Amino acid sequence: MYWLSKKRTKIIMLFPAVTLFTLYVVIPIFIMIYYSFYNYSGIGIPEFIGFQNYQFLLRDKTFFCSLKNTIIILVMILVLILPCSFGLALMLNQKFKGGGIIKAMNFSPFVIAPILVGLVWYFILDPKIGLLNNLLGILGMEGLQKQWIGGKTLTPYSVAFVYLWQVLGYYATIFLAGIKGISSDFYEAAEIDGAGFWKKTVYITIPLLKETFVIAVVLIITGGFKIFETVQQLTGGGPNHLSDVLVTYMYHTTFTISRYGYGMAIASVSAIFSFVCAAVYLLISRKSVKGEM
């Protein structure tokens, strides 16, 4: 490749991507940090106020409520997605007629616009006209009818279930890719020793998929922080911000009530939070993987 590697060629090839990336991905980080130290409402000149936005954040009940909701969603989706998608991947790994179509069907919610997903689920979860409560009513289980969305407590749990629906097939496909990568020698050896399906899964598949599990957990954590449209469509953060998550609260502060500086303080803190969650998990899992080797 040496012959073609003139300096000019390299610059021409790198320049467009580097410029675009710097302008719209790297510079925004600095803009965000900059504004988080200012008081700015869109009119006039931003006023420097030091750490006041961050101090305000510590006393803001709505912020902690949205943080709590975000954590509930994160824990719920980790608990739900990992076993469900891994189980689905185990099923799809069996060869049977129509397996391809089944795989495609389970993947399909992933390609639907998240904003439509929120709308579709609105007709299932809405306490008055939604399917869920009506179904419970018909089955004579009125006691179980709940305010799945729009109430005081349950919205984050519902959002977690909707998210499970959205990404189940996606994570199942990631696990399936991992399972396909395991050499069949292991299974054959185990079969000779008389291991059944469950033993093979527990002693071969899961340990060998450690890397895939690590990646999946990191993807779920970072993905969970991004949930936005579903909350926006289901409740809009209401009533009275009780169902807001960090992103919707940030969006509300920034664009609805135009407190740009404070919004950016929320954005910085939640970005750091998401980063730390993923990093801590990566560090722990690296250590444990190394420790065993």
Partner 1 sequence: MRKKQKWFRKTIFFLAVGLVTFLVLFPYLWIVQLSFKTNTEIMTTPFSLPEVLSLDNYKRALETLKLATMYGNTIYIALFALFISVSFSFMSSYCISRLYFKNKKISNTIYLYFVAGLTIPSYIMIFPIYRITMSLKMMNSRWSLILPLAATTLALDTLLFVGFLRNFPKEIEEAAIIDGCGIVRLCTRVVLPIIKPILATVIVFNIIYFWNEYPISSVLINKEDMFTISLSVSMFKGRYSMDYGGLIAATVLITIPEIIFYCFFQKYLVDGMTTGAIKG
113-152 residues in contact with partner 1 (CB under 8 A) are 113-116, 119-124, 129, 131, 134-135, 138
Give the shortest CB-292-to-partner 1 separation in angstroms. Answer: 20
The window from 61-69, 144-152, 165-173, 185-193 that contacts partner 1 (CB under 8 A) reads 165-173
CA distance 251 to 260: 10
Position 13 contacts partner 1 (CB under 8 A) = yes
Q: How far is the CB of 278 from partner 1 (least distance, A)?
A: 8
Task: Report the distance separating Cα 232 and Cα 252, nearest Å.
Answer: 10
Instruction: Determine contact, residues 93/172, Cβ cutoff 8 Å.
Output: no
Terminal alpha carbon distance of the chain: 39
Beta carbon nearer to partner 1, 12 or 141: 12
Contact window for partner 1 (CB under 8 A) among 65-73, 200-208, 243-251, 284-292: 243-251
Interface stretch with partner 1, choices 9-17, 62-70, 152-160, 284-292 (CB under 8 A): 9-17
Q: Rounded distance, CA 60 to CA 64, Å?
A: 7
- Could you tell me the two tokens for 74? 């994160």
Q: Site residues for partner 1, window 205-224 (CB under 8 A)? A: 212, 215, 222
CA 239, 245, 246, 250: dihedral to nearest 10 degrees?
Answer: -40
Spatial separation of the C-alpha atoms in residues 265 and 51, rounded to whole Å: 9
DSSP state of 39: E
| Nearest in space to 106 (alpha carbons), one of 158, 161, 173, 159 | 173
Least CB distance from residue 119 to partner 1, whole Å?
Answer: 5
Sequential DSSP letters for 235-266: TTT-STTTT--HHHHHHIIIIIS--HHHHHHH
The one segment of 24-32, 64-72, 143-151, 200-208 that binds partner 1 by CB under 8 A: 24-32
Q: How far apart are CA 143 and CA 153, in angstroms?
A: 17
CB of 146 to partner 1, least distance (A): 17
Residue 38 contacts partner 1 per CB under 8 A: no
**Binds partner 1 by CB under 8 A, chosen from 61, 95, 180, 290:** 180
> What is the smallest separation between the CB atom of 243 and partner 1, expressed in angstroms?
16
Q: How far is the CB of 213 from partner 1 (least distance, A)?
A: 12
Site for partner 1 in 55-114 (CB under 8 A): 88, 91-92, 94, 96, 102-114
One-letter amino acid for residue 73 of the chain:
I
Residue ranges in 261-280 that form contacts with partner 1 under rule CB under 8 A: 263-264, 267-268, 270-271, 274-275, 278
